[in-house]
Amino acid sequence: MTNATAPKEHSGDVRLSGISKTYGSFTAVHPLDLTVPQGSFFALLGASGCGKTTTLRMIAGLEEPSTGTVCLGEQDVTALPPYKRPVNTVFQSYALFPHLDIFENVAFGLRRRGIKSVKQQVGDMLDLVQLGEQARKKPHQLSGGQQQRVAVARALINHPKVLLLDEPLGALDLKLRRQMQLELKRIQTEVGITFVHVTHDQEEAMTMADTVAVMNGGRVEQQGAPADLYENPRTTFVANFLGTSNFIEAEVAEAGGDDVVLKAGGGKLTLPKARCTAPATTGGRVLVGVRPEKISLTHADDAGAIPDGRNRITGRIADSSFIGVSTQYVVNSPVCEAFEVYAQNIERDPRLVPGADVVLHWNPAHTFGLDADQDAEAGVEKVEEDA
């Protein structure tokens, strides 16, 4: 889809073509093609060790790719040293100059290029990150979040085409991290520069990014808008790594119409064919997935009141935790151990306690189907705090 205006429109793109990195016999990043549209907020999401930093460092020029090319806009920068690339990087450890005040930290890039009148630009940058009042303080007098904003201002003042951020919020506590996520998103929207943000935190990636690429073992498993990835995961890894998914292994009973009808245990489940990425042939196996917040719990005594047409399975509550906005239930079902159900705390049925027999039911439209040859537990393990 090229046209005459394409080069201009795409001048800020990051394009990786067949880029890979091997260390001896170990492949950290498998040949990877990735396009980051200009002006977008792009997140590379994955567990520790999956190759995020390596990918980012290849964009920055800090790591030489084993194969492939890096283009920034129209320019092939693969052979350029880092300082000649129109990119800047913000790391988890903000590494500000401790002896310089905030103003001078931000002015650093300009001064190094011999620019004398820095006042206006530094002032604008400090306003952008809302630290105008702190200009004459030293880094150690600021909070972690403020220091990280200085690091962002210090990078942005060089007017990079692309800002690379490697777990920039990793050292902050949860509440501050949430605040900074919104803050970074605001800054990106305001400056309109392409941000490539690396994180192992799925909530962070979904909050901030226009597009999320989920990495696993040196490969991008899937990329898309956060809601699309969440609702339509194509692998169990993505389904489990982004939030929580329940899986039921089922057998295809009928696949003639718009819906796939499946047998699980003694019951039947319905899955829209358009949401089934596995080959649906009669007698074949499919992993039926459904998110915990899509499911309703009804006490077995009231099962008759459940409307027709909903997918339903039976089970017994094994555990429940009151979270405030929701109650999270673990339900053991003959078709699935440890089914997770999140119920909003609106009207709580006091009978829904551990030991209660229940029916779990949901709208078939909220069901997705995946290839049953995959490990249903892929991506489940808890990620360490530091990546």
Ligand X SMILES: Nc1ncnc2c1ncn2[C@@H]1O[C@H](COP(=O)(O)OP(=O)(O)O)[C@@H](O)[C@H]1O
Which spans of this chain sit near ligand X (rule: CB under 6 A)? 23, 26, 28, 46, 48-54, 387
Nearest approach in angstroms of CB 27 to ligand X is: 9
Question: In the chain, which ranges are E strands?
Answer: 14-23, 26-36, 41-45, 67-72, 75-76, 87-91, 162-166, 194-199, 211-216, 219-224, 246-254, 259-264, 267-272, 285-290, 296-299, 311-322, 326-333, 336-344, 357-362, 368-371
Nearer to ligand X, 44 or 341 (CB): 44
199 binds, among Mg ion, ligand X, none (CB under 5 to 8 A by kind): none
3-state secondary structure of 314: strand
In this structure, are residues 19 and 59 in contact, taking their beta carbons and an 8 Å threshold? Answer: no
Closest CB to Mg ion: residue number: 53
Quick one: what does residue 23 bind among Mg ion, ligand X, none, with the CB cut-off 5 to 8 Å set by partner type?
Answer: ligand X
SS (H, E, C) 55-67: HHHHHHCCCCCCE
Site string for Mg ion, 39-58 (x = CB under 5 A): --------------x-----
> For ligand X, which is the closer residue by CB, 28 or 261?
28
Residue 163 tokens, joined: 């800002």
Is 148 a binder of Mg ion (CB under 5 A)? no
83 binds, among ligand X, Mg ion, none (CB under 5 to 8 A by kind): none
**From the list ligand X, Mg ion, none, partner contacted by residue 50 (C-beta under 5 to 8 A by kind):** ligand X
Min dist CB 166 to ligand X, Å, is: 7
Tell me the closest approach of the beta carbon of residue 214 to ligand X, in angstroms: 12
For CA atoms 299, 303, 305, 307, give the dihedral sign: positive
126: Cβ contacts below 8 Å, ≥ 6 apart = 102, 103, 106, 132, 134, 135, 153
What, of ligand X, Mg ion, none, does residue 168 touch, CB below 5 to 8 Å by kind? Answer: none
Q: What is the CB neighbour count within 10 angstroms for residue 182?
A: 11
Least spacing, CB of residue 46 vs ligand X, in Å: 6
CA distance 241 to 337: 19
CB nearer to ligand X: give 19 or 50. Answer: 50
C-beta pairs of 300-308 under 8 Å, 24+ apart in sequence:
300/356, 300/357, 300/358, 300/359, 301/351, 303/359, 306/359, 306/361
* Least distance CB 328 / ligand X (angstroms): 29
**Shortest Å distance, C-beta 28 to Mg ion:** 11
Longest dimension (CA), the chain: 78
Q: How far apart are CB 233 and ligand X at their closest, in Å?
A: 20
Q: Which does residue 61 touch among Mg ion, ligand X, none (CB within 5 to 8 A, set by kind)?
A: none
Closest to ligand X by CB, 64 or 251: 64
Nearer to Mg ion, 19 or 387 (CB): 387
54 binds, among ligand X, Mg ion, none (CB under 5 to 8 A by kind): ligand X
Token reading at 17 = 């073509």
- The binding site for Mg ion (CB under 5 A) comprises 53, 387
